[in-house]
């Protein structure tokens, strides 16, 4: 058995056990005890190699399919007895904001891969942050409807699902309760995170973890009053520093993908994650180690990884590999395809807390 699959499975098992212990409320495990329970697994995870598939091209459907093929054995082991949920990325659902959403042809390539190897119905899911608008509007506006006839799939608005209370960092370092959609912590779900490489206004870039973590808080879009309707902004409590910590904290709770598939064929730079500019980068990345995929994604975007603290913290906690020397990249030489995305205009503001905390220039 592939060593990367062993280490990924070990952590996946740990996150499920953690869920069982904390779902009873705030009296569950502390974060400190969580990391202690992972200590042995963390050491093994970081010492093992992680397989990342890298492809180049112009066709998004072909790229996502080809990116998954080298990972086939690990993926087939991972999906056994599980419900596949593909958590697409569409934070906003207006038709003119199509670049903020996962491209439908990128999804087609993923479904092409699973069609001959998975008999069950695959759920295409999202839990949009788009005000009082249903996720279903996004599936319609971004051209997903034909998939219902082409594949054995159905759509799921995860904002209609039950929730599990968790605790994150609030203002002034106070604990803050947040309601997380249960699908993101379901031990019977194989969670796939396909998203474009996109720049971001608070955390440098949107990658596979961010797609999942920021989708997980509930948006009660059917509630008429604005107060308490959308809990996703609670993740931003404490500013950019707080968002980075809460991203890490939710990943530690177990909110992270089982499979990352990153679309850099047609990506976004500048004023991401919603209103940025198109960049035809021509690359795609996939891995069952989501952290390794996100690490390579940061590299491909030309972003200084030293500034992406939440991923570094996840690596320190043993959630995956962020050391490029421990990441085995199949495909062409990725170093010849690195682009330097135009970052968000407020990037210096994003760096302020990092300079303050880490004494960087």
Q: In which band, very low, low, confident or very high, does the pLDDT at 207 lie, cut at 50, 70 and 90?
A: very high
Q: Is the pLDDT of residue 20 over 50?
A: no
pLDDT value for 23: 38
Q: In which band, very low, low, confident or very high, does the pLDDT at 47 lie, cut at 50, 70 and 90?
A: low
Q: Report the predicted TM-score, pTM, of the whole model to 2 decimal places.
A: 0.88
Say which range, 51-60, 216-225, 240-249, 270-279, has the weakest mean pLDDT.
216-225
> What is the pLDDT averaged over residues 135-139?
96
> What is the pLDDT averaged over residues 67-96?
97
> What is the pLDDT averaged over residues 82-106?
97
- Give me the phi and psi of 23, to 5 degrees please: -70, -10
Contact 70, 350 (CB under 8 A): no
Domain ranges of the chain: 3-358
pLDDT value for 39: 32
User: Could you read off the pLDDT of 143-194 as tens digits, one per residue?
Assistant: 999 999 999 999 999 999 999 999 999 999 899 999 999 999 999 999 999 9
pLDDT value for 131: 77
């Amino acid at each position: 058995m592939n060593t990367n699959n062993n280490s990924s499975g070990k952590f996946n098992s740990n996150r499920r056990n953690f869920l069982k212990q904390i779902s009873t409320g705030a009296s569950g495990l502390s974060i400190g005890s969580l990391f202690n329970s992972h200590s042995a697994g963390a050491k093994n995870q970081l010492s093992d190699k992680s397989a990342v598939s890298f492809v180049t091209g112009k066709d998004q459907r072909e790229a996502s399919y080809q990116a998954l093929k080298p990972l086939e054995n690990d993926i087939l082991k991972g999906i056994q007895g599980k419900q596949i949920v593909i958590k697409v990325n569409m934070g906003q659902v207006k038709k003119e904001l199509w670049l903020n959403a996962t491209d439908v042809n990128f999804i087609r390539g993923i479904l092409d891969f699973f069609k001959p190897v998975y008999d069950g119905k695959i759920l295409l899911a999202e839990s949009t942050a788009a005000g009082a608008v249903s996720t279903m509007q996004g599936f319609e506006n971004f051209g997903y409807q034909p998939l219902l006839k082409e594949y054995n799939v159905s759509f799921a608005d995860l904002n209609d699902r039950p929730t599990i209370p968790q605790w994150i960092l609030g203002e002034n370092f106070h604990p803050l309760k947040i309601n997380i959609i249960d699908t993101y912590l379901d031990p019977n779900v194989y969670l796939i995170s396909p998203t474009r490489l996109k720049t971001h206004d608070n955390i440098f870039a949107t990658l596979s973890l961010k797609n999942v973590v920021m989708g997980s808080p509930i948006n009660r879009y059917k509630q008429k009053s604005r107060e308490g309707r959308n809990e996703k902004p609670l993740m931003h409590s404490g500013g950019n520093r707080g968002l980075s910590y809460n991203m890490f904290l939710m990943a530690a709770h177990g909110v992270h993908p089982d499979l990352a598939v990153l679309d850099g064929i047609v990506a976004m730079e500048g004023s991401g994650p919603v209103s940025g500019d198109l960049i035809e980068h021509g690359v795609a990345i996939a891995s069952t180690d989501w952290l390794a995929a996100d690490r390579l994604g940061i590299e491909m975007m030309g972003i200084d990884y030293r500034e992406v603290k939440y991923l570094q913290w996840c690596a320190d906690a043993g959630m995956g590999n962020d050391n490029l020397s421990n990441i085995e990249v199949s495909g062409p030489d990725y170093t010849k395809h690195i682009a330097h995305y135009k970052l968000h205009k407020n990037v210096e503001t994003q760096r302020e807390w990092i300079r303050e905390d880490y004494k960087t220039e």
